[in-house]
A and B are shown apart, each in its own frame.
Chain A
Amino acid sequence: DAGVIQSPRHEVTEMGQEVTLRCKPISGHDYLFWYRQTMMRGLELLIYFNNNVPIDDSGMPEDRFSAKMPNASFSTLKIQPSEPRDSAVYFCASRKGTSGKVGELFFGEGSRLTVL
């Protein structure tokens, strides 16, 4: 079975440019999470969705960040305009809410973003 699929795997962009990260969760999973990981701050939850509806976006750093989930198989995280401090690895993760191990999130391989 395919796992969580993220794209792009690597992105290098210049300050001020728009960045769009994409995620396809595992089929049948009704929870989707966006995390950001840096050396300084570790893994931080940005936002999560349940059945395509944003439930908690309190981790989104500021208005430059936005996330959408138009359907059960696709989500985007957008940064506009990007800044050097946004450089990080962005992980998407999914899980099925009512079965399996409650704490088991399935992560994608991450999108490594570098903003120059």
Chain B
Amino acid sequence: RKEVEQDPGPFNVPEGATVAFNCTYSNSASQSFFWYRQDCRKEPKLLMSVYSSGNEDGRFTAQLNRASQYISLLIRDSKLSDSATYLCVVRANDYKLSFGAGTTVTVRA
């Protein structure tokens, strides 16, 4: 079983729509959680950390459910520039990060 699993999508949404997707992780001892963004043929970049109580960063909201071992990302008022692949990332008890395969989001005009 993969450490981090994501729905690959693609999620095709119109501008202004809300889109949400999850990922699940297998290691119950995981300590930290993140969402990274990767544009086509570019390197991954940190989008936001995910905290136990849930957190927002502008139009982006992240949630963590430790009991069910899943993380979610919600994007409100989608922009064309939000089109990217979103990678779910989990850290266990060292500095090694495990990346999901990514969820592709395409925002259309």
Contact = CB atoms under 8 A, between A and B. Distances in A.
Which residue of A101, A103, A104 has the most chain B CB atoms within 10 A of its CB atom? Answer: A103
Interface residues of A, number: 22
Contact of B87 (A43, A55, A56, A108): A43
Nearest to A109: B43
Interface in B50-109: 87, 89, 91, 94-102
B42 interface: yes
Contact of B96 (A41, A48, A104, A108): A48
Contacts of B20: none
B97 A105 contact: yes
Given A103-B34, A103-B49, A109 B42 contact: yes
B14 interface: no
A89 to B, nearest CB: 8
Interface string B26-39: 00000011100000
B32 A107 contact: no
Given A102-B32, A103-B97, A105-B97, A43 B44 contact: yes
Contact of B101 (A42, A45, A101): A42
Interface in A46-61: 48, 50, 55-56
